[in-house]
Amino acid sequence: MENIGYYNGTFAPIEQLKIPALDRGVYFGDGVYEALRVERHRFFALKEHLTRFRDSLTFMHIAFPMTDEALTAILQEAADRVDSDSQQLYFQVTRGTAIRTHAFPEEVQANLMIFSRGVPLADLQEYRRVVVLPDTRWGHCNIKSLNLIPSVLAAQTAKERGCSEAVFHKDGIVSECSSSNLLLLKDGILRTAPSDERILPGVTRAHFLMIAREIGVTVDESTFTLEEMQDADELMITSTSAHGLPVGFVDDKPVCGRDAALLRRLQKAYRDYFWSCIDANE
């Protein structure tokens, strides 16, 4: 199959999947989600994704009694039903199905939805364009909730301006991108915003920083400004499918390209590590 969907025990192609109109995810975005990378029908960093997923559930006070083992079995079945060897798998849990009231409904069961489809890993060779926008998101960006309208609007603005991503800032302090983390190279040092409530603690980000340290690159997890971003030797985007995507233009102004050797070294080291993890899961 080209893709698969799942909702509370039922598998179907994504286009045929149906959910109740009163699922609280529909009218409140009352739920949390994760996105996994699947290569050769094996997951990358599943344990870390499940840990972040459970942290988000706890913050949102959503009861989801399914064990990680049971959830993993369903995720694996979903991945196995898709023919592609390179997939992006998404899963979400909402609080439940109930008549619309703001307070939590009583005696409801959480809803689990999954879908997966073939998506290749991002090409790391081409330098991308980004646009800078004010960060108008809520104060808990470390929680992977379904409420993503500021990111959706930012992504649309980026698309309309011919850019791959939007970079968020508050009062000139850079946080991250609309759906990814941002890393900066300057004088051989790899910098990125600290992992706090202002950014999503990206799984790829964490592994990328780990690999950078292992190959002898100094890592500095501290805030940086828009001016420092503009003056970076290199800028890189990391996400589930983007493993150090290079940035060459910010608001149509050419930037970076001054330390391509270290950029490519980091990209290769991470991709080699990524594939070694996939091989270890086979």
Closest CA to 193 of 152, 165, 235: 235
Residue 247 lies in a domain: yes
Residue 216 lies in a domain: yes
Tell whether 63 and 165 lie within a shared domain: no
β 253-254/243-250 pair status = antiparallel
Tell whether 245 and 137 lie within a shared domain: yes
Q: Sign of the C-alpha dihedral, residues 140, 157, 202, 82? A: positive
pLDDT at 281: 84
Tell whether 150 and 263 lie within a shared domain: yes
Rounded Cα gap, residues 46 and 76, in angstroms: 11
The CB-side HSE value for 222 (13 A sphere, CA atoms) comes to 5
pTM to 2 decimal places: 0.96
pLDDT at 163: 98
Tell whether 145 and 264 lie within a shared domain: yes
The CB-side HSE value for 197 (13 A sphere, CA atoms) comes to 5
Q: Can you list the positions of beta strands (E) in 8-73?
A: 10-12, 31-39, 42-43
Residue 235, strand partner residues: 184, 247
Residue 249 lies in a domain: yes
Q: What is the mean pLDDT of each run of 10 residues along the chain (282 residues)?
A: 97 96 98 98 98 98 98 98 98 98 97 98 97 97 97 98 98 98 98 97 98 98 98 98 98 97 98 97 75
Domain containing 23: what range? 3-118
Tell whether 157 and 201 lie within a shared domain: yes
Tell whether 19 and 151 lie within a shared domain: no
**Quick one: tokens of 84?**
């592609």
Residue 123 lies in a domain: no
When divided into structural domains, the chain yields a total of 2
Domain boundary among 52, 85, 118: 118
Tell whether 181 and 160 lie within a shared domain: yes
Tell whether 274 and 217 lie within a shared domain: yes
Q: Can you list the positions of beta strands (E) in 40-180?
A: 42-43, 86-94, 111-118, 128-134, 165-170, 173-177
Rounded Cα gap, residues 224 and 192, in angstroms: 8
Tell whether 110 and 132 lie within a shared domain: no
Residue 138 lies in a domain: yes
Residue 274 lies in a domain: yes
As a whole number of Å, the CA-based R_g of the chain is: 19
Residue 113 lies in a domain: yes
Q: What is the CATH number of the domain that holds 24?
A: 3.30.470.10
Tell whether 205 and 144 lie within a shared domain: yes
Q: Sign of the C-alpha dihedral, residues 121, 158, 156, 151? A: positive
Residue 93 lies in a domain: yes
Q: What is the CATH number of the domain that holds 152?
A: 3.20.10.10
Domain boundary among 118, 148, 179: 118
Domain boundary among 118, 145, 177: 118
- C-beta separation of 259 from 188 below 8 A: yes
Tell whether 157 and 269 lie within a shared domain: yes
pLDDT at 282: 66
Tell whether 78 and 178 lie within a shared domain: no
Residues serving a catalytic function are 144
